[in-house]
């Protein structure tokens, strides 16, 4: 992970997931970024995001598009710690983790971002109630800092289904 998270910080201590396993993001900077919801069981075991079945869907899709899943993509989650029973994180949890996600986005400076699922869309748009992914899927969004100089950054972001939804209904 390019930034650090202090689990003893006031922010983390206020989070209901403070005692759960943190799974750090990984990947190269300045290229693609894929943002998911929160780490699952496999991710906790292996200590990296998107290394279970959902990750396999992403990796095979990326490969078929000529994007190298390891060299070209930084994998991150909107929520960094594992929610027990993979429960969808509450707005409180998403909000507590949001500054960490944004610190990371601005450090990685990706040129393109894939937002997988409604939690990732809400976190990227600072709207925990972003609405269903069906109303965002395929939209082209520009995320930007509107700052000058080295802090200037913008990226093209596309919301899509979470790969777990595709595993449940491959027609998606």
Measured CA to CA, the distance from residue 169 to residue 136 in angstroms comes to 18
Q: Report the relative pairing of strands 32-36 and 73-77 from DSSP bridges.
A: parallel
Which stretch in 13-21, 36-44, 61-69, 105-113 sits in contact with ligand URA by CB under 6 A?
A: 36-44
Q: What is the number of other CB atoms lying within 10 angstroms of the CB of residue 16? A: 14
Interface pattern 72-91 for ligand URA (x via CB under 6 A):
-----x--------------
**Maximum distance among all Cα pairs of the chain, rounded to whole angstroms:** 45
- Pick the stretch among 49-57, 105-113, 135-143, 144-152 that binds ligand URA (CB under 6 A): 49-57
Task: Choose, by CB under 6 A, the member of 5, 38, 97, 101 that binds ligand URA.
Answer: 38
Residue 14: Cβ within 10 Å count: 11
Applying CB under 6 A, among 27, 36, 110, 159 the residue interacting with ligand URA is 36
Please give the DSSP secondary-structure letter assigned to residue 73. Answer: E
Question: Which two three-digit tokens encode residue 162?
Answer: 């979470």
In the complex, what is the shortest distance from the CB of residue 72 to ligand URA, in angstroms, rounded to a whole number? 17
Q: Give contact residues for ligand URA (rule: CB under 6 A).
A: 36-40, 43, 49-50, 52, 54, 77
């Amino acid at each position: 992970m390019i930034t650090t998270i202090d689990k003893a910080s006031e922010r983390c201590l206020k989070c209901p997931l403070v005692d759960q396993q943190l799974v750090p993001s990984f990947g190269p900077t300045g290229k693609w970024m894929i943002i998911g919801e929160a780490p699952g069981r496999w991710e906790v075991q292996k200590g990296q995001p998107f290394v279970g079945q959902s990750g396999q869907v992403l990796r095979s899709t990326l490969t078929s598009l000529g994007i190298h899943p390891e060299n070209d993509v930084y994998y991150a989650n909107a929520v960094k710690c594992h929610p027990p029973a993979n429960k969808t994180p509450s707005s409180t949890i998403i909000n507590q983790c949001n500054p960490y996600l944004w610190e990371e986005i601005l450090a990685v400076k990706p040129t393109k971002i894939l937002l997988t699922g409604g939690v990732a869309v809400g976190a990227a748009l600072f709207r925990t109630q972003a609405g269903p992914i069906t109303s965002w899927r395929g939209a082209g969004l520009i995320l930007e800092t509107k700052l000058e100089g080295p802090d200037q950054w913008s990226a093209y972001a596309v919301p899509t289904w979470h790969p777990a939804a595709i595993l449940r209904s491959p027609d998606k």
